[in-house]
Amino acid sequence: MAPAYSSGLNTPESELESLVPVHPTATRRPYPIVVQSENTSYSDEFITSKFVNRGAAVTVRDGQFVVAPTSKAYEFQTARKVAKTGLMMIGIGGNNGTTLCATVLANRHNISWHTKSGIQQPNYIGSMLRASTVSLGMDPSTGKDVHVPVCDVLPMAHPNDLVLGGWDISGVPMDEAMKRAEVLDWDLQRQVAPRMAQLGRPLPSIYYPDFIAANQEARADNVILGTDKQVHLEHIRADIRRFKQENGLDRVVVFWTANTERYADVIPGINDTADNILKAIETSHSEVSPSTVFAVAAILEGEPFVNGAPQNTFVPGVIELAERHKSFIGGDDLKSGQTKLKSVFAEFLVNAGIKPLSIASYNHLGNNDGHNLSAERQFKSKEISKSSVVDDMVAANPLLYKPPAPGVPKGSKEAKGEHPDHIVVIKYVPAVGDSKRAIDEYYSEIFCGGRSTINIFNECEDSLLATPLILDLTILTELLTRVKYRDASASGEFAPLYSVLSLLSYMLKAPLVKPGTDVVNSLNRQRNALEAFLKACIGLESNSDLLLETRIW
C-alpha cells in the first residue's frame, strides 16, 4: 500500500526534479524584522526578548471598585530555525483533507487553472498568517502605520514546505477522493490529479461505529483491524514514528479533520485522570473515542495534536496526560464562517449597549460532514460548540444581563445567569454539496422597549474556508513549540509554554483553555492576544489605538 506522502520524499530519483517546490513565495530570504532595543537580542539560534505583562487586580469593597495596576516581567526565547514539519491529518481523504493537499500542491508547483471567469492563480487567501497584516508602528517621516504580513513577525513554516500524510477510514486513493469531494474547479483537479495520485492511499484509520453516524459505514473500508484499543494506539504511534523518520522530519503535527464524533461520557475512574485514560485504552473501554486514541498517541510520541472537530476529544485525563509529558494540544472545532461572524456580531451588539434577546442560526449543507451531522448524537457535539460562542460577551455586561445568583452550582443552567435564547439548526441537503447556506437572526431589545431584528444570509464553500485554518493552526502550533519563557526576575532555565495552546483560539469555535481559566470567544480579543504574543516574542508592546500624538498639541 502506498504511503500518504508528498513533497518528493520516498519518490524515485527520476521523479524528484518535478516535485521540487518552485513557488516564489517558498524561497528563503533574510529575516525581515529587526527590533533595535535593549529588550531584544539576536543570536544565530534564538530571538530573546523581554516583555512586561501589565494588568490590574480589582477588588470590591462596599460597592467600590479598588484597582491596583500590576506588572510582571518575562523573557521569551524563540528558536529561529523552523522545524521541518509534517502534517498528518485524520480524515485526509475527506473534503478538508483533499482540498488542503490539492491546494498546497497547486501553490507549491505554481499551477494556475481556468475558471468560467478566467485564469485563477494559486494563493493562500483566507490564511490569517499569510493574507493578513499587523502594524509594527508608525513611519516618523509620513505619520502612517507600517503593516507587515503576520507570518513575518517571527520565523514560521511556509505551507508549501509542509510534508503531507495521514489516515482515513476510506481507502480511496487521494486523486479519486479529491474528485469525490467535488470542492475544487475541474481544471485544477485535472492538473493536480497526477500529483495527488502520488500521495497514494491514506493510512488505515480507527473505526468505532458507536462514535460516528451509521451512514458512514459504507466508507469504512480502510480500518485498523480488531477491537483492541491498546493495539490501535501502538499502531498509530508506529505510523507517526515511521512518517517522521522516512521524511526526515523534526516535527509532526497530528490534526483531526475527520467526521464529528458523539460526545464521550466523562466517567470517574475511566477518563478523568492520565492514568485512568491509559488504563481505559488498555482495557478497550467503550467510552474511549477514536480521536482520543489519536490524541494520546501524539502525546506519547511528543508531537502536537489539534482537534478540528467539536467532540470532547480532550477529556480531563487527556489534558492531564499532555501536562505530564509537556506535549502540546489545541482545539476544538474549526471556526470558519457562521460562528466566526456570530462572535463578531454579538460582540458588536453587546458593546453598543444593545441587548440580544435571541440568536437563531440555521444552516444546510450537502457534503459528507453534513451527512454525518444528520445523526442526532453527532449533531449534539456541533450544537454544543456553536452554542457557547457568545457566553463570555454576555457575561461581560451585567448592565444588560443579570449575572447568576451567588451560590449557584457551577455547570448548572442557572450558572450562566440571564442569557439570550440561542438556537442552532443544521440540515443535510445533498444538492448544495460543499456550498453551505447559513441564515442568522438577531432579535434584540433597543431603547425604551423597542425591538430590532437583523437577518444575515451567508453562502460559503465550506472546505475552502476551513483549509486555510488548518494550515494556520499547523504553522502556529509548530511555532509555539519553539517558544520558551522564564520569569525575568529569576535566572532559571527557559521552559516550554503550557500544554494547552489557547493562543490558537482565533481559529476555533470552542477554544480549549487551561483548566480553571475563562474561555474567551470574542474574535477581537482572540486576535489581539495572538498579535500581542507574537510581538512580545520580539520585544514589542502591543500597538495602542489611543493615537495620543494625534490628540494633543
44 classed as catalytic: no
Q: What is the pLDDT of residues 167-194, one digit of tens each?
A: 999 999 999 999 999 999 999 999 999 9
pLDDT of 366: 77
Within a domain: 18:
no
We report the CATH number of the domain holding residue 433 as: 3.30.360.10
Within a domain: 397:
yes
For residue 76, list its beta bridge partners. 49, 485
Computed over every residue of the chain, the mean pLDDT equals 89
Within a domain: 187:
no
How many other CB atoms are there within 10 angstroms of residue 518's CB atom?
10
CA separation, residue 184 to residues 122, 190, 456 (Å)? 12, 10, 26
Q: What span, in angstroms and rounded, lies between the C-alpha atoms of 193 and 370?
A: 25
pLDDT of 6: 37
Instruction: Kindly state the DSSP code that residue 530 receives in the 8-state scheme.
Output: H
Q: What is the pLDDT of residues 446-456, one digit of tens each?
A: 999 999 999 99
Q: What is the pLDDT of residues 499-541, one digit of tens each?
A: 999 999 999 998 999 998 988 999 999 999 999 999 999 999 8
509 classed as catalytic: yes
- pLDDT-derived band at 382 (thresholds 50, 70, 90) equals low
Q: What is the pLDDT of residues 403-427, one digit of tens each?
A: 888 777 776 666 778 989 988 888 8
Q: Rg of the chain's alpha carbons, rounded to an integer?
A: 24
CA separation, residue 59 to residues 180, 392, 508 (Å)? 59, 20, 32
Q: What span, in angstroms and rounded, lies between the C-alpha atoms of 6 and 108?
A: 11
**Catalytic one of 436, 440, 462, 535:** 436
**Catalytic one of 179, 355, 382, 386:** 382
Ranges of H-type helices in 352-505: 368-373, 376-387, 391-395, 462-481
Within a domain: 470:
no
322: left (phi over 0), alpha (psi -120 to 50) or beta: alpha
* Model confidence, pTM: 0.89
CA separation, residue 4 to residues 11, 29, 203, 475 (Å)? 12, 30, 7, 20
**Closest listed residue to residue 46, CA positions, set 478, 532, 537:** 537
**Catalytic one of 239, 333, 369, 440:** 333
Within a domain: 82:
no
Within a domain: 401:
yes
How many other CB atoms are there within 10 angstroms of residue 499's CB atom?
21
Residues of the domain holding 357: 338-461
Within a domain: 503:
no
Q: What is the pLDDT of residues 200-243, one digit of tens each?
A: 999 999 999 999 888 888 899 999 999 999 999 999 999 999 99
**What total number of domains does the chain contain?**
1
Within a domain: 288:
no
434 classed as catalytic: no
pLDDT at 481 over 60: yes
Whether a cis peptide bond, with omega within 30° of 0, leads into 332 is yes
436 classed as catalytic: yes
Which of 217 and 148 is assigned the larger pLDDT? 148
Mean pLDDT, rounded, for 46-65: 94
pLDDT at 162 over 80: yes
